[in-house]
């Protein structure tokens, strides 16, 4: 399977592709590349080609690749204890819960392994909250075009039917409203409503930020009705938008918040944080997870939070965000095919008009050594590591400029661009 060369084991891409095709369930549609090494914001493929990682494992590699603080925390923890189970107290879990609660609105934390699981916990908690108060409220209002995960409850929560329809019957109890439309919430509310669940930036459907006034009014409405506000910060949390949590920029406090992605810099983790009041929705035995809160993942998350603080990464996010945004606005003036530039911090979307296909742009960037994601037909998203350097940010904008100048007008097919027969036109989402 592998070719050995001077004691280095070099994976062979075509063999890897064959094995993948034959033995992995074909639910993804990867680009024809496999990475074997990462350093800082760069990834290296099987041929040693270097790529600037402007998507960071879809907003996961918050400290980039091979960050010394994260690597040493993982190594130390792995040599002491990787897993022991929630039958026992776990020092790292307690420390992480304490740290997250001190840094946020929350009083309590529950740990799991992914964003979908964190949202599952949030949905269950909201239902449990009213169950234990003997109130018949279970409905959750979510936004159209939202994304909350791939489990059966979270595809039901997700306001995009394509994610749930093939797996019908869809779990009942969700109502979908237009995003950023407060009146739609008033209409959807019933005496059965238990919670409103929102992303502050809809990341998976094109990087669409919520309006501040809208979110404030939703918060006020939840207070008036005595229902819970769940904020899904799986993608926006942990410094991604320039504050540790995105809600800080909205002048509100959630009752429940979910985290995952960047929290442990690439070690799988999810977290559901809540107030003491909301926490009454779970009694002992109501929820759990075998791996959730294990020492390894929690030690990694503690290292990420420490690095964000010690290395002033929020400042870095804001400086790079301003730089990229200003350069992108300049590009927009130069190329009218750039329809919109939006987002916060280092979660940005660049939307093109119908003359540019986002998947073609993604592949043009890929061939130049830049990794981004494409969303739908018109938007590319960037979510680079929080440790991005200014010169790296500038090199990305320069590459985009060059592509818009040279390549795009002569529309090339995706197969031509990649020199492959593989159809890699789509994203996985």
Ligand X SMILES: Cc1ncc(COP(=O)(O)O)c(C=O)c1O
Beta-bridged to residue 218, according to DSSP, are none
Q: Residue 374 Cβ, how far from ligand X at the closest point, in Å?
A: 14
Tokens of 170: 């869809």
Cis omega (within 30 of 0) for bond into 169: yes
Catalytic site residue from 105, 130, 147, 370: 147
Which residues fall within 8 angstroms of residue 243, CB to CB, at 6 or more apart? Answer: 249, 314, 345
Measured from the CB atom, is 139 or 232 closer to ligand X? 232
Give 397's Cβ-side CA count (13 Å radius). 23
What's the DSSP call for residue 166?
Answer: G
Q: Residue 85 Cβ, how far from ligand X at the closest point, in Å?
A: 22
Measured from the CB atom, is 258 or 359 closer to ligand X? 258
Q: Residue 390 Cβ, how far from ligand X at the closest point, in Å?
A: 27
Annotated catalytic residue 261: yes
Q: Residue 67 Cβ, how far from ligand X at the closest point, in Å?
A: 20
Which residues fall within 8 angstroms of residue 4, CB to CB, at 6 or more apart? Answer: 10
If 0-12 CB within 10 Å is exposed, 13-18 middle and 19+ buried, where does residue 180 land? middle
Measured from the CB atom, is 73 or 234 closer to ligand X? 234
Measured from the CB atom, is 227 or 375 closer to ligand X? 375
d(CA 314, CA 58): 18
Q: Residue 58 Cβ, how far from ligand X at the closest point, in Å?
A: 6
Measured from the CB atom, is 63 or 418 closer to ligand X? 63
Task: Find where tokens 């309590």 sit.
Answer: 108
Measured from the CB atom, is 114 or 378 closer to ligand X? 114
Return the SS3 of 241: coil
Is residue 271 a contact partner of residue 263, using CB atoms and an 8 Å limit?
Answer: yes
Measured from the CB atom, is 266 or 281 closer to ligand X? 266
Measured from the CB atom, is 115 or 254 closer to ligand X? 115
Annotated catalytic residue 333: no
d(CA 264, CA 282): 25
Residue by residue, DSSP assigns 146-210 as ----SSHHHHHHSB-GGGTGGGPSPPS-EEEE-TT-HHHHHHH--TTEEEEEEESEETTTT-EEP
Residues in contact with ligand X by CB under 6 A are 114-116, 119, 147-149, 199, 203-204, 232, 234-235, 260
Tokens of 206: 């094109």
Return the SS3 of 370: strand
Q: Residue 294 Cβ, how far from ligand X at the closest point, in Å?
A: 16
The residue count of the chain comes to 429
Q: Is 93 left (phi over 0), alpha (psi -120 to 50) or beta?
A: alpha
Q: Residue 258 Cβ, how far from ligand X at the closest point, in Å?
A: 7
Catalytic site residue from 45, 110, 163, 232: 232
d(CA 140, CA 324): 37
Starting at the edge strand found earlier in the chain, the sheet holding 50-53 runs 35-39, 42-45, 50-53, 370-371
Task: Find where tokens 């909350």 sit.
Answer: 148
Q: Residue 204 Cβ, how far from ligand X at the closest point, in Å?
A: 5
Annotated catalytic residue 147: yes
Catalytic site residue from 175, 261, 327, 344: 261
* Active site (catalytic) residues: 147, 232, 261
């Amino acid at each position: 399977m592998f070719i050995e060369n001077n004691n280095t084991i070099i994976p062979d891409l075509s063999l890897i592709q064959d094995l993948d095709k034959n033995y992995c369930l074909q639910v993804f549609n990867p680009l024809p590349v496999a990475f074997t090494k990462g350093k800082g914001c760069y990834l290296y493929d099987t041929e040693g080609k270097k790529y600037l990682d402007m998507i960071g494992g879809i907003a996961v590699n918050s400290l980039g690749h091979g960050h010394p603080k994260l690597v040493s925390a993982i190594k130390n923890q792995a040599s002491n204890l990787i897993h022991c189970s929630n039958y026992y107290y776990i020092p790292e879990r307690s420390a992480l819960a304490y740290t997250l609660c001190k840094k946020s609105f929350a009083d309590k934390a529950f740990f799991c392994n992914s964003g979908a699981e964190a949202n599952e916990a949030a949905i269950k908690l909201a239902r449990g909250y009213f169950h234990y108060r003997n109130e018949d409220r279970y409905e959750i209002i979510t936004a159209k075009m939202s994304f909350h995960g791939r489990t059966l409850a979270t595809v039901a929560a997700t306001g995009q039917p394509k994610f749930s329809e093939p797996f019908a019957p869809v779990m009942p109890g969700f109502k979908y409203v237009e995003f950023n439309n407060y009146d739609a919430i008033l209409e959807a509310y019933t005496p059965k409503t238990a919670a409103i669940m929102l992303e502050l930036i809809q990341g998976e459907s094109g990087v669409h930020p919520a309006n501040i006034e809208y979110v404030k009014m939703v918060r006020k409405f939840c207070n008036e009705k005595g229902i819970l506000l769940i904020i899904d910060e799986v993608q926006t949390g942990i410094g991604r938008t320039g504050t540790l949590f995105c809600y800080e920029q909205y002048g509100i406090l959630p009752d429940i918040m979910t985290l995952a992605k960047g929290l442990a810099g690439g070690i799988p983790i999810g977290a559901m944080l809540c107030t003491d009041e909301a926490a009454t929705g779970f009694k002992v035995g109501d929820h759990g997870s075998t791996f959730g809160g294990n020492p390894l993942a929690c030690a990694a998350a503690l290292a990420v939070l420490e690095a964000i603080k010690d290395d002033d990464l929020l400042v870095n996010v804001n400086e790079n965000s301003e730089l990229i945004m200003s350069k992108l606005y300049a590009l927009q003036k130069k190329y009218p095919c750039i329809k919109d530039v939006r987002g916060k911090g280092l979660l940005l979307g660049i939307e093109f008009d119908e003359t540019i296909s986002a998947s073609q742009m993604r592949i043009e960037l890929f061939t130049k050594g830049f990794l981004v994601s494409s969303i739908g037909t018109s938007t590319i998203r960037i979510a680079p590591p929080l440790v991005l350097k200014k010169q790296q940010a500038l090199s990305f904008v320069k590459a985009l400029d060059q592509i818009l100048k040279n390549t795009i007008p002569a529309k090339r097919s995706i197969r031509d661009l990649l020199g492959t027969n593989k159809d890699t036109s789509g994203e996985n989402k």
